[in-house]
């Protein structure tokens, strides 16, 4: 079951560059795991923004919320989710 | 080069059901061609809306506009395009 | 799996009162079926608007799109869907 | 009398994780009480957001404001309320 | 129980001036009745707009929807309702 | 001459609970004075929000700005004013 | 007492060029009268739009609504009014 | 050449009342100079807001930006500029 | 003096394909003239939309409004204009 | 391949005037380099705002994101990118 998410990141002023770098390392590892498990079907940077569009392939809304709230940067993210259905014109 | 598009369709009142069905047949064929050529990397229905999110993989902005304006239903579509770049956390 | 939908109805000017009444009869029957099957868990009128908030309990995004696009008034509806997950504070 | 609320939570930067955890414990207890009294007819997490949609069943606007402003996290919430009426197609 | 409503009127192009005048006569009578019954506590024109702000004093959401949907011009109105509670600084 | 105002209050993080309580006491006294003078014709809490809708009856825009900017909490308020005229359907 | 108005004009499709020209002649005369009486203190075209910003100097909200609703093109206008007060830095 | 500006002021929390008062004194002097030179053709308080609408009469966009960025409070202002042209119905 | 414009085109339903083609021919000629005179410094299609972003280099707001309102498709355009000043980092 | 960007700058309160001046020096140098390489085809100040509109001429979305995220002030910028295609009426 597919969902499109837009995730915007905004760090609070009090975080140090080291703390931010630490978040980015953990985020990369977490994202890799989601891609290997197939739960994240794709992730792209939105040009010019500290934001991404991602595709998720999960079995339920609960699983998607668990995946999203597990991102290390989740407390600093604003996420909007759009549920997707099969399109009649899709060949896949 | 990847782009995300959101395409909303709204037919004017004066089109007959037959005309609309004709558009849908031509649209399906055009979409199939784009998927076979690899220019359209995916298309999904937005649940509950006469709209889709699509991923395009093209060589230039000009090619993308040519692809989008070639949709049979283009005159009845409202399209918003978001340019995408490679995400550092993407495994692909 | 729960979803909240907001559905706004707007009939085009060319529909007669009889046609509109016909839609409303078919809509009522369709809604009744969805409630009996458990796919629609609730529907409420938004005070002062020709619109409703509804709760849907379905197994997938595809099933939800099938349910929504099956409404007799679907061509005249504008629908926004919000995916819901279990809330940690919910007793149910 | 039914109302739909959307409640978004945003904690200020100066709260410690312990303070936030304390709020969450008190919030859970308060929510449980409202569900047991029947004043809160349902609460769902909005997928990917620190927000919920809730249904309230109260006797008056004053009662609803009392209920909402009594949430321990109320000072950190942004709430939007939609009054609901019986829908002619509802079987309940 | 108090509610604030904003009501915007937009007549479709096909209505004749006579039809519009007829609506206005019936609307005035209906509004007078609501004021005499105490259900409408006040109505004011928004300067420069074909719109009003009105205060309603009713016993329930259902009663308010019945009152609002009974306006002769209801099919041509866009209405937004805000539920109001007693303010701690109000002397009334 | 009537005006509708919507007033939203947001205190900065650095105010102590004692300071906020002090503002609320002064605010209540100021509001009482405006109601006794007839300049404030009504004030209602917006359900679920730290905000109110108020009706003002003043002789000029200058007087209204003086009244509004005199609120003790004015520096922490966001105010939107709508000028109102007599409605042809009003019995008052 | 000063007010700023933004007035956007949109003619329905069924008006003929002659009818529109007639409206424009009557509009010019009406505007001239308002400027001569001092009720309209200024009017400017918004560059690139069929819209204007105007300043009105009137004694009351009721007078302003009478002035605005008297425009020949009023039925085709969308108007937003902002009440203005004396600015402490104004030399006038 | 005329421009309408809307200028909203928001001081950061760390400024002291003395610093704010100092800004207001310098702002008043700067505004007076602009009015005497004819570059500012008018300034009005928006009722209930820490904001103004101002009319500027300048020879170029560059001159207008120089004027606006010269306001002592410029770092704390949010400004929106609308270019104005002569209106065919203006008598001036 | 530079201005950025965004111009969106929407033809009413009653125009025939021949009428639209006629507008496009006249539009192309008019645009060519503006580019040759230097008044239009550039025009680009917004990908996926019947809209453009254009740069104009004119001596005054009045000249810009004359240029914009002279477009053959002007009655079917929605235009938003942004005044531009020299940027301190521009090498030109 | 052309893109239009709107870039808004907002410095956090904790930066000193010296730090801000340092950013501005580095920003100017970086912008000069982009103009000399031809990647930035133009940059203009938006009148009255700490913001610019810029034109970029790059070979890919990835190159554009690299260019934009390389701005010294990038962490303090909010950027919106619009992809542009050749316009049929452009003489260039």
Nearest Cα neighbor of F1 from F41, F50, F47, F36 is F41
Nearest Cα neighbor of F44 from F53, F36, F35 is F53
Q: Which residue of B has its CA nearest to A50?
A: B87
The rounded distance, in Å, linking the Cα atoms of D73 and D24 is: 8
Nearest C-alpha of chain E: how many angstroms from C13? Answer: 8
Q: Is F69 on the interface with H (CB under 8 A)?
A: yes
| pLDDT at residue number B13 | 84
The mean per-residue pLDDT over the stretch G10-15 comes to 90
Q: Which one of G27, G42, G89 has the shortest CB-CB distance to H43?
A: G89
| pLDDT at residue number F37 | 98
Q: Give H39's DSSP letter.
A: S
| pLDDT at residue number F60 | 98
- Residues in chain I with CB shorter than 8 Å from the CB of J55 are 42
**Residue G81 burial class via C-beta count within 10 angstroms: exposed 0-12, middle 13-18, buried 19 and up:** buried
pLDDT at A92 over 90: no
First to last CA, chain I: 13
Task: Report yes or no on chains A and G touching (3+ CB pairs under 8 A).
Answer: no
pLDDT band at G44 (very low <50, low <70, confident <90, very high): very high
| pLDDT at residue number J54 | 98
The rounded distance, in Å, linking the Cα atoms of B74 and A48 is: 28
Looking at domain G2-83, its CATH class is: alpha beta
Q: Is A2 on the interface with C (CB under 8 A)?
A: yes
Nearest Cα neighbor of A27 from A14, A1, A9 is A9
- Residues in chain G with CB shorter than 8 Å from the CB of F85 are 61-62, 64-65
The mean per-residue pLDDT over the stretch B84-90 comes to 98
| pLDDT at residue number J2 | 98
The rounded distance, in Å, linking the Cα atoms of D2 and D63 is: 12
> Given a contact as 3+ CB pairs under 8 Å, which chains touch F?
D, E, G, H
| Measured CA distances, E47 to F59, G34, G42, G65, G83 (Å) | 16, 17, 19, 5, 10
Confirm if E68 and E23 have CB atoms less than 8 A apart: no
First to last CA, chain G: 13
Query: Pairing relation of β-strands F40-46 and F51-57?
Result: antiparallel
Confirm if J8 and A7 have CB atoms less than 8 A apart: no
Question: pLDDT by residue (tens digit) across F72-82?
Answer: 999 999 999 99
> Given a contact as 3+ CB pairs under 8 Å, which chains touch G?
E, F, H, I
| pLDDT at residue number F13 | 84
**Cβ of C91 and D32 within 8 Å?**
yes
Question: pLDDT by residue (tens digit) across B18-77?
Answer: 999 999 999 999 999 999 999 999 999 999 999 999 999 999 999 999 999 999 999 999
The rounded distance, in Å, linking the Cα atoms of C89 and G21 is: 64
For an interface test with E, which of G8, G59, G63, G81 has the most E Cβ atoms less than 10 Å from its Cβ?
G81
Q: What average pLDDT does the structure give for chain C?
A: 97
Chains E & G: contacts with CB separation below 8 Å:
20
| pLDDT at residue number H29 | 98
SS (H, E, C) chain A: CEEEEEEEECCCCCCCHHHHHHHHHHHHHHHHHHHHHCCEEEEEEECCCCEEEEEEECCCHHHHHHHHHCCCCHHHEEEEEEEEEECCCCCC
- Residues in chain I with CB shorter than 8 Å from the CB of H60 are 1
User: Hey, which residues 9-38 in chain I have their CB within 8 Å of chain J?
Assistant: 27-28, 31-32, 35-36
**Cβ of F85 and G2 within 8 Å?**
no
The rounded distance, in Å, linking the Cα atoms of G11 and G73 is: 9
Q: In 10 A of CB B52, how many CB atoms? A: 23
In the block, residue with structure tokens 């119905």: H89
| pLDDT at residue number C55 | 98
Residues 6+ apart with CB under 8 A from F23: F11, F15, F72, F73, F76
Confirm if F76 and F9 have CB atoms less than 8 A apart: yes
SS (H, E, C) chain C: CEEEEEEEECCCCCCCHHHHHHHHHHHHHHHHHHHHHCCEEEEEEECCCCEEEEEEECCCHHHHHHHHHCCCCHHHEEEEEEEEEECCCCCC
Give exposure, I45-84, as e/b (b: 16+ Cβ within 10 Å).
Answer: bbbbbbbbbbbbbbebbbbbbebbbebbbbebbebebbbb
Q: Which one of I12, I14, I64 has the shortest CB-CB distance to G47?
A: I64
pLDDT at E14 over 90: no
Q: Is E66 on the interface with G (CB under 8 A)?
A: no
Share of chain C above pLDDT 70, in %: 100
More confidently predicted of F29 and J14: F29
Q: Which one of H43, H83, H88 has the shortest CB-CB distance to G87?
A: H43
SS (H, E, C) chain E: CEEEEEEEECCCCCCCHHHHHHHHHHHHHHHHHHHHHCCEEEEEEECCCCEEEEEEECCCHHHHHHHHHCCCCHHHEEEEEEEEEECCCCCC
Q: Which one of E13, E45, E48 has the shortest CB-CB distance to G5?
A: E48
Q: Which residue of F has its CA nearest to E1?
A: F44
The rounded distance, in Å, linking the Cα atoms of B56 and B40 is: 4
In the block, residue with structure tokens 């065919």: H88
**Residue B64 burial class via C-beta count within 10 angstroms: exposed 0-12, middle 13-18, buried 19 and up:** buried
Share of chain F above pLDDT 90, in %: 96
First to last CA, chain A: 13
| pLDDT at residue number G38 | 98
Q: Cα–chain-centroid distance for residue A57?
A: 12
pLDDT at G13 over 90: no
Chains F & G: contacts with CB separation below 8 Å:
31
pLDDT at A43 over 90: yes
> What are residue H79's phi and psi, to 5 degrees?
-120, 135
Share of chain I above pLDDT 90, in %: 96
Question: pLDDT by residue (tens digit) across H44-81?
Answer: 999 999 999 999 999 999 999 999 999 999 999 999 99
Alpha-carbon torsion angle D68, D69, D73, D77, nearest 10: 70
Token duo for residue A22: 């630490």
pLDDT band at C52 (very low <50, low <70, confident <90, very high): very high
| pLDDT at residue number C14 | 85
| pLDDT at residue number B14 | 85
Question: pLDDT by residue (tens digit) across I31-60?
Answer: 999 999 999 999 999 999 999 999 999 999
CB hemisphere CA count around F72 (13 angstroms): 16
> Given a contact as 3+ CB pairs under 8 Å, which chains touch A?
B, C, D, J
| pLDDT at residue number B65 | 98
**Residue E34 burial class via C-beta count within 10 angstroms: exposed 0-12, middle 13-18, buried 19 and up:** buried
Helix (H, G, I), strand (E, B) or coil at I91: coil
- Residues in chain A with CB shorter than 8 Å from the CB of D76 are none
Question: pLDDT by residue (tens digit) across E30-78?
Answer: 999 999 999 999 999 999 999 999 999 999 999 999 999 999 999 999 9
β-sheet bridge partners, residue D26? none
Share of chain C above pLDDT 90, in %: 96
**Cβ of B47 and A83 within 8 Å?**
yes
Question: pLDDT by residue (tens digit) across D61-73?
Answer: 999 999 999 999 9
**Cβ of H87 and G45 within 8 Å?**
yes
Confirm if I47 and B64 have CB atoms less than 8 A apart: yes
- Residues in chain H with CB shorter than 8 Å from the CB of G86 are 44-45
β-sheet bridge partners, residue D43? D54
Q: What's the alpha-carbon Rg for chain I, to the nearest Å?
A: 14
Helix (H, G, I), strand (E, B) or coil at D92: coil
pLDDT band at J13 (very low <50, low <70, confident <90, very high): confident
β-sheet bridge partners, residue G92? none
Confirm if J54 and J5 have CB atoms less than 8 A apart: yes
> pLDDT of chain D along its 92 residues, tens only?
999 999 999 998 889 999 999 999 999 999 999 999 999 999 999 999 999 999 999 999 999 999 999 999 999 999 999 999 999 999 98
Region of A63 (left: φ > 0; alpha: ψ -120 to 50; beta: rest) is alpha
**Cβ of I28 and J88 within 8 Å?**
yes
Chains A & C: contacts with CB separation below 8 Å:
31
**Residue J18 burial class via C-beta count within 10 angstroms: exposed 0-12, middle 13-18, buried 19 and up:** exposed
**Domain segments of chain G: what residues?**
2-83
The rounded distance, in Å, linking the Cα atoms of G82 and G75 is: 20
pLDDT at B79 over 90: yes
Task: Please state the pTM of the whole predicted model.
Answer: 0.96
């Amino acid at each position: 079951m597919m969902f499109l998410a837009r995730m915007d990141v905004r760090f609070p002023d009090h975080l140090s560059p080291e703390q931010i770098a630490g978040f980015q390392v953990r985020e990369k590892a977490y994202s890799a795991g989601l891609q290997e498990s197939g739960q994240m079907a794709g992730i792209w940077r939105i040009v010019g923004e500290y934001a991404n569009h991602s595709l998720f392939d999960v079995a339920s809304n609960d699983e998607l919320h668990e995946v999203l709230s597990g991102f290390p940067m989740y407390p600093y993210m604003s996420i909007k989710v759009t549920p997707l259905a099969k399109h009649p014109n899709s060949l896949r």
